[in-house]
Amino acid sequence: MINIAVIGLGNISKRVIEGIKFVKDAKLYCVASRDINKALNFKEKYDAEVAYGSYDDVYKDKNINLVYLCTPNHLHYDQIMSCLNNGKHVICEKPMVSSIKEINELFDYAKSKNLFLMEAEKTVFTNLHKELKKVLKSGEIGEIISIRADYSYNVSYFNFPKNHWVFDEKYGGCLKDVGVYPICFSNSIADSKVKNVIGKKYINDEYKCDFGGIGIIEYENGIKAIIECCWFYDSIDRGYAVIFGTKGKIHVPNYWKGNKFKIILDNKKIKEIEVKQNSDFEGEIQEAVDMIKNNKIESPIMSREKTIEIMKVIEEIIS
């Protein structure tokens, strides 16, 4: 049994914890927050065995096998290092860190410790994504020509203070907040290395970070993708993807967490496919548990290389 600790008890952690319930051979062992009262409330609500008000206590607890980091982006690097240094496997919420250099440093250190490390990109682990890949492999829409994917929402709805980490010039910004979703999706569907990126970002003068971006990605296998994100408005379902093939296309609403998609063939035949999904976080956590049980230090689905390919696109658009 893999004992999991969740560090950082904001909104995302609640969904992570719900996902853990469906994971085989794992359990929620510990919840941790800098606020011990919050940790105790989570412990009672979600039936964890241990609650800590200090992250150092998590690092030192020898009963913990795997840590899921749900903390602000600027804390990730040091926290991952602390986990690895204390013999803990790690899943870290996206973006793991802010540069390819930091990605390599962390994966190198994890390798030296023979520990599993993965960026939490749930998009590619959902039952929806697995079914999409099956359809594409079947050739039902022919050869993939191009992909379009976006994720946008109105950041003003959340009333974040100006000093909130999401607006941090180095670690925050729209591309690192939600641009990772369309990039990760497109990279996975194209199933090829990124060859070239042309992009444009919009920097908000008041907050000094990007509030949106658009990029055209060319892959080595010839597939093209247009990815888009912004903090100005809620797009359809907040995000939407279309995969274009030589025989038709696939419409995918909520492509990072949804449970259905529509195949539209050139002969006008339409087919809707729906999948069962307990939680959009179940798949990525199950992957980590399976890899750890099999003494693997990287997931082939979201490896160091896959994490670098996502950051490569972000860096090209931001630069």
Average pLDDT over residues 87-114: 98
pTM: 0.96
Q: CA 316 to CA 299: how far, in whole Å?
A: 25
pLDDT computed for residue 233 by the predictor: 80
How large a percentage of the chain has pLDDT more than 70? 99
pLDDT 10s digits, 157-203: 888 999 999 999 889 999 999 999 999 999 999 999 999 999 999 99
Decide: 61 and 45 in contact? Cβ < 8 Å: no
Domain boundaries, the chain: 2-120+282-299, 124-280
pLDDT beyond 70 at 99 = yes
Beta-sheet pairing, 66-69 with 89-93: parallel
φ, ψ for residue 151 (rounded to 5)?
-150, 115
119-131 pLDDT tens trace:
999 999 999 999 9
CB < 8 Å & 24+ apart, contacts of 78-87 = 79/7, 79/55, 80/106, 80/117, 81/106, 81/109, 82/55, 82/56, 83/58, 83/59, 84/109, 84/110, 84/113, 84/115, 84/117, 85/59, 85/113, 86/59, 86/60, 87/62, 87/113, 87/115
Query: Does residue 225 contact residue 149 with C-beta atoms inside 8 Å?
Result: yes
| Topology adopted by domain 2-120+282-299 | Rossmann fold (3.40.50)
The CATH number of domain 124-280, selected from 3.10.105.10, 3.30.2320.50, 1.20.58.100, 3.30.360.10 = 3.30.360.10
State which H helix or E strand residue 224 sits in. Answer: strand 224-230
pLDDT in tens, 249-304: 999 999 999 999 999 999 889 999 999 999 999 999 999 999 999 999 999 999 99
| Contact of 254 with 275, CB cutoff 8 Å | no
CA distance between the termini of the chain: 44
Question: What are the structure tokens assigned to 8, written together?
Answer: 């950082």
Residue 105, judged by CB atoms within 10 A of its CB (0-12, 13-18, 19+), counts as middle
Extract the tokens encoding 33: 């927050």
User: In the numeric block, which tokens belong to residue 145?
Assistant: 């020509």
Q: To the nearest 10°, report the CA torsion of 51, 56, 62, 64.
A: 50
Q: Token pair 């003068």 is at which residue?
A: 205
On average, the pLDDT of the chain sits at 96
> Are 305 and 311 within 8 A, CB to CB?
no
Spatial distance between the Cα atoms of 15 and 5, rounded to a whole number of angstroms? 14
- Residue percentage of the chain with pLDDT more than 90: 93
**Residue 156: which pLDDT band, with cuts at 50, 70 and 90?**
confident
